[in-house]
Structure 1
């Protein structure tokens, strides 16, 4: 479950309701493609914009459509009390594992973050993936803190940000972390543009945004890397550079992926909660052209 391609789908919504039909279509695509796991209610899943009841509903929908694909559920929240409640909901729905980021409004110390994971794992019956995402949490894990948290019960994987672009530096980064965590805890790379480099450097999993919308494209990269065909994985990733460039231009992947889902007719318009908006005008036209050029449309 914590190896291979873990695809993270969008939770499409507007100001009035969640687009449940669109969400189901996305989950069905992942199940049909045979991804190794799917991660619902991650950052692309817009977890921070949903109520507890809405999150529980999305988990149940995902479980109903995922088939044999393991479902990893995001349980991040501002308060430990709420994280524990969300963990209970995920367990009750039959989730395979949970994903937890140190979400906060006030800056957190390392001891506070360790305390969060210590409290949650003490009550948890499911495996947990540590979600290291400084772009949204504004908290930066040290490798030493990862080592402490990875030694807690039920911690099974660490989702790290993108690795350095230089292959040697990427290998050193992964090896450094590997030396501090138990051997049964996997390391998964995120930051899709760096995924091939991370997989080639020894990451066992890819926690993927594009996998949530274009699973076959992401699977081709993951399968090449796992088969020892590192050059092929890099070639397939480099082919997607026009898409990676749009991610960089628009502050990350969410707006681009949500717009792509709209353009493909998979979700209703709009598909993001205000004040977030999908791409419009020339930016939308540019994305449509990239999807066509890359044969993703």
Structure 2
């Protein structure tokens, strides 16, 4: 399941709770598009704002609605004890894999991060994906630490935060990591603006935020890149540069939640406080961008 497009949908929610119907509708869009896997409760899935019971409920909805498409879910939490409990929930619910970032209030050491993955890996009956997300966790993996953790028995993929924008430098970066980790562990790129460059450089998977909302477009990009049609993949990604620019400026969660509201996929407000939605001017800019993206999605 750690190949191709892994689409990460929003968890539509506000201070009243999760909108379960809207979440299921988002999952069904991914099923219809035929994505390779579904990433429930990622960063744009608002996992950090939900209780254990809420996360369990959302995961159960995802698994039940996925129509056989494998579901990966985040088990990230501040305490190892809580991570282990979430791992138990994931296995009991029928998730196909778990995604784990080294989240912490205190800055973690390499030894502490390795210990976290070692403890979790030893208790798993399903695969684990390492979530390297320094923008959120403020922890920076070295390739040598990736090498150590990738050799743990349950690890099957590494979700890297992006690659250099220069294609040759991206190839060097991916090849360096590939030489250090087992062949059983894939490298997946996140950070949607870097996705095609990463896939063209040898990443096997794209862990995608935009794919959770416009799966046909992102699936086409992934397939083009993985099939070796680099120029076509680059051209399609370039058409999405306006939304990539908004991602970089405002964060993907705020942008995709606004996009989902504008397109009528979910109702507003759809962010947990204290997060605030995009302001009116940016929202108007996004509306014009979505006309192009919706056209691309319809043609795929």
Shorter-normalised TM range: over 0.9
- State the alpha-carbon separation in 2 of the partners of residues 163 and 120 from structure 1: 27
Q: Which residue of 2 aligns with 1:264?
A: 263
Structure 2 Cα separation of the partners of residues 248 and 94 of structure 1: 34
1:66-77 superposed matches below 5 A? 66-77=66-77
The alignment's TM-score, normalised by the length of structure 2, stands at 0.97
Q: Map Cα deviations across residues 46-65 of structure 1 (whole Å, 9 max, x no partner).
A: 10000000000001000111
Compute the displacement of 1:227 (Å). 1.1
Counterpart mapping for 1:179-194 below 5 A: 179-194=179-194
After superposition, what is the alpha-carbon deviation per residue over 1:39-97, rounded to whole angstroms, capped at 9, x for unaligned? 00110101000000000000100011100210001100000000000000011100000
Following superposition, the deviation at residue 266 of structure 1 comes to: 1.1
Q: Measure, in 2, the Cα distance between the counterparts of 1:182 and 1:146.
A: 11
Asked if 2 retains the 8 angstrom alpha-carbon contact of 1:188 and 1:207, the reply is: yes
1:92-241 alignment, distance < 5 Å:
92-241=92-241
- TM-aligned CA deviation for residue 278 of structure 1: 1.8
Moved over 2 A (4+): 293-297
Question: 1: CA distance between counterparts of 2:246 and 2:65?
Answer: 31
Partner of 2:32: 32
Inter-partner Cα distance in structure 2 for 1:265 and 1:105: 36
Q: How many Å separate the matches in 1 of 2:149 and 2:14?
A: 36
Alpha-carbon distance in structure 1 between the residues aligned to 2:2 and 2:139: 23
The alpha carbon displacement at 1:280 in A equals: 2.6
Provide the C-alpha distance between the structure 1 equivalents of 2:290 and 2:229, rounded to a whole number of angstroms. Answer: 26
Task: Give the equivalent residue in structure 2 for 1:286.
Answer: 285
Is the partner of 1:44 in helix, strand or coil? helix
Count of residues paired in the alignment: 296
Q: RMSD in angstroms over aligned alpha carbons?
A: 0.9
Cα distance in 2 between the residues matched to 1:111 and 1:9: 32
3-state DSSP of counterpart to 1:193: helix
Q: Give the helix-richer structure, 1 or 2.
A: 2
Distance 1:294 1:39 in 2: 22
- Partners of 1:293 and 1:183 lie apart in 2 by 39
Structure 1 spans left out of the alignment, 5+ residues: none
SS in 2 for 1:277: coil
Q: CA deviation at 1:294?
A: 3.3
